[in-house]
Structure 1
Amino acid sequence: MDFPRSLYSGKSSLALVARASAFSFGLVYGSIKLKALKAKAKSQKKAEASAHH
């Protein structure tokens, strides 16, 4: 088996790890941003509703 050789193939495995971590960071960042936007929209609607009364 030539698995260890492919595991320690330097740049390519490092690039793969970097790409995977960048992708997971993007997912986490995206979901946090989405939650923040939803919370902001909800608070704006509440403010508008209380301003009308």
Structure 2
Amino acid sequence: MAPLPGPYSGKSSLAMVARVSAFSFGLVYGSLKLKVLKIQAKSHKKAEAKAHH
């Protein structure tokens, strides 16, 4: 059986730092975008409810 590859293919620590920071940026960006979308959906539902009355 072949040995498992390490957490990153690059040998430099800079490659790992770049990968980790890109990953955390993705997580932060994703959660912020989700919050914005939820807020927009809420306000859209409120506007629809007002239009129906």
More helix by share: 1
Structure 1 partner of 2:19: 19
Cα displacement string for residues 22-48 of structure 1 (whole angstroms, at most 9, x for unaligned residues): 000000000000000000000000000
- The whole-number CA distance in structure 2 between the counterparts of 1:23 and 1:39 is 25
Report the TM-score, using the length of structure 1 for normalisation. 0.78
- Point out where structure 2 has 5 or more consecutive residues left out of the alignment: 1-10
CA distance in 2 between counterparts of 1:48 and 1:30 reads: 27
**Contiguous gaps of at least 5 residues in structure 1:** 1-10
Report the equivalent of 2:52. 52
Task: Please identify the structure whose Cα radius of gyration is greater.
Answer: 1
CA RMSD of aligned residues (A): 0.9
The share of aligned pairs that are identical, in percent, is: 81
Distance in 2, Cα, partners of 1:12 & 1:43: 47
What does residue 43 of structure 1 align with? 43
